[in-house]
Chain A
Amino acid sequence: MYKFKRFIRVYRDFIISGVLIFVALIGILVGLVPGVRRVVALTSETNIVAGEVRALTTKVATLESIDNDTLQHGFDILMSAVPSEKLLPSIISSLEALAARQEVSIINLSLKEPGAIATEAAIPKNAEAQKVGANMVTLSIEMSGTVDKLREILDTAVRVRRFFRVRSFDMSIAAKTEVTKARFTMDAFYIPLPKTLGKLLDPLPPITGEEQGVIEKVAAYPLLSQEALTPYDATIPTTPVTADPFTP
């Protein structure tokens, strides 16, 4: 006992320093290091959340920047030019209106594959459709009128709603009667609406001035048929995209 007391007395400072160092080491290893790790992890998690908040805030700003009426107006205009479905009545009525405006008569109108039974996804897009990015209904139309009127049709057919593209054109003029018959091969376009929305964090950039310019340019084209106007409410995607496509 005497030896122990003497040991304590002699090495007291060593012991105190040793105990303090031991406590500090244990404290650093058990408390400080995990604490620093947690702070680092929390910082990186917070940075991720901050990034998400930035993305979401940008998205909210985009949603707030466009008022519903402007959006609806632009959407209606584009849908009247390129609807979401084939809308064969709108093709026919637009062509009839075009012919009526130029006082020419339609002799014959035939549609190539007017009614596909398969769903849109199952229909293989040909090279032309892939190039344009839209589905097409190809039609052949025969008209009768004067050369000038048919020339006008050729000119205005590519500047009306709904949209047409003249693929080929030929005409023949009868020698005695001067009756001109012309055959147009045309494409009408349609694009199905997207089925799903993007992910919540997917960016949604605002409509640019250039994009607005396209809408205004299309709006300047005359609308030949009211049938080209389709209701959109029921067809707008509202389902968020799922990571697994087989998940219902």
Chain B
Amino acid sequence: MPKASSINLFQTKANLPPSFLLWDKYLRTAAYIGMGLLIGGGFIVWGLFVVIGMQRQVLEERRAAATDYIKSNVVKEGMILALRQRIKVVSRIMEQQVSLAPYINTTLLVAQPPKLASFTMGDQGSVNISIRAADGYEAQLYVKTLIDLVGERKVKNPILTSLVVEKDGSYLMSFSYGVIL
């Protein structure tokens, strides 16, 4: 047993070189940082895992509920899809549903039955008509009427396609023209 007056000269630490002491300081700091990173990071990661997991759980429940609702309304969904498909096509058909009545209206300005013998729709808005005229004077009137309608911008490009003088002196004339709508 050492006496109270005795001095312990035994060195608890060896005399380390100063560079070792510097290393010791760095290693200790690195150890603190490493452990701090592990513990702090661990808590953060665990926290994020729990929070995101809970969010995921809520979303899964909402997804399941929405899926169930959609599956129980398949007939309604089918009707909406079919309705939308039909609306598109119906719109396209309606764009092409053009009344040809204005072509007849314009033609009736040229000649009325029974003088108007025939009417045929041609390509690209053209019309072919044939008119019976009692004599040359009346035939001339029909030609003049067509020319007047050109002036009124109701018809364009009128062409006399045929002219037949019948035995009784009447005329059968055929015209083709475009109708300006």
| Interface residues in chain A, defined as those with a beta carbon under 8 Å from any beta carbon in chain B | 6, 9-10, 13-14, 16-18, 20-21, 23-25, 27-28, 31-32, 35-36, 38-39, 42-43, 45-46, 49-50, 52-53, 56-57, 59-60, 62-63, 66, 68, 71-72, 74-75, 78-79, 81-82, 132-134, 146-147, 150-152, 154-155, 158-159, 163-166, 168-176, 178, 180, 189, 191, 193-194, 197-198, 200, 204, 207, 211, 214-215, 217-218, 232-233, 236-238, 240
Contacts of B118 in A (CB 8 A): 170-173
Q: B149 within 8 Å of A by Cβ?
A: no
Could you list 9 A-B pairs, sorted by A, with CB under 8 Å?
A17-B27, A31-B38, A132-B93, A134-B93, A151-B105, A152-B101, A158-B97, A171-B120, A194-B85
**Binary contact track B96-113/A, C-beta < 8 Å → 1, others 0:** 111111001100100011
Task: Please judge, given known A-B contacts A18-B27, A21-B30, whether A194 and B96 are in contact too, CB under 8 Å.
Answer: no
| The residue from B20, B48, B66, B75 contacting A60, defined by CB atoms under 8 A apart | B66
**Interface segment, one of B1-9, B10-18, B138-146, B152-160:** B10-18
Contacts of B86 in A (CB 8 A): 75, 78-79, 82, 191
Contacts of A79 in B (CB 8 A): 86
Contacts of A38 in B (CB 8 A): 49
Min CB gap A166→B, angstroms: 6
Q: Are B41 and A28 in contact (CB under 8 A)?
A: yes
Task: Give CA–CA (A214, B14) in the complex, Å.
Answer: 97
| Interface residues in chain B, defined as those with a beta carbon under 8 Å from any beta carbon in chain A | 12-14, 16, 20, 23-24, 27-28, 30-32, 34-35, 37-38, 41-42, 45-46, 48-49, 52-53, 55-56, 59-60, 62-63, 66-67, 69-70, 73-94, 96-101, 104-105, 108, 112-114, 116-121, 132
Q: Are B84 and A28 in contact (CB under 8 A)?
A: no
| The residue from B60, B89, B112, B132 contacting A82, defined by CB atoms under 8 A apart | B89
Sort A-B residue pairs by CB-CB distance and give the 8 closest, nearest first. Answer: A24-B34, A20-B31, A56-B66, A17-B27, A155-B101, A158-B97, A170-B120, A236-B78
Q: Are B70 and A56 in contact (CB under 8 A)?
A: yes
| The residue from B30, B48, B55, B78 contacting A197, defined by CB atoms under 8 A apart | B78
Min CB gap B77→A, angstroms: 6
Contacts of B14 in A (CB 8 A): 6, 9-10
Q: Apart from A35-B49, A214-B87, what are 12 other A-B pairs with CB-CB below 8 Å? A: A23-B34, A28-B37, A39-B45, A46-B52, A63-B69, A78-B83, A82-B89, A147-B112, A147-B116, A154-B99, A163-B97, A170-B118
Contacts of B38 in A (CB 8 A): 23-24, 27-28, 31-32
Q: Are A198 and B81 in contact (CB under 8 A)?
A: yes
Task: Please judge, given known A-B contacts A42-B49, A42-B56, A78-B83, whether A60 and B31 are in contact too, CB under 8 Å.
Answer: no
User: A81's closest neighbor in chain B, by CB?
Assistant: B90
Contacts of A9 in B (CB 8 A): 12-14
Q: Are A197 and B74 in contact (CB under 8 A)?
A: yes
Min CB gap B61→A, angstroms: 10
Contacts of A62 in B (CB 8 A): 80
Min CB gap B125→A, angstroms: 12
Contacts of B77 in A (CB 8 A): 59, 63, 197, 204
Q: Are A50 and B59 in contact (CB under 8 A)?
A: yes
| The residue from A17, A59, A155 contacting B24, defined by CB atoms under 8 A apart | A17
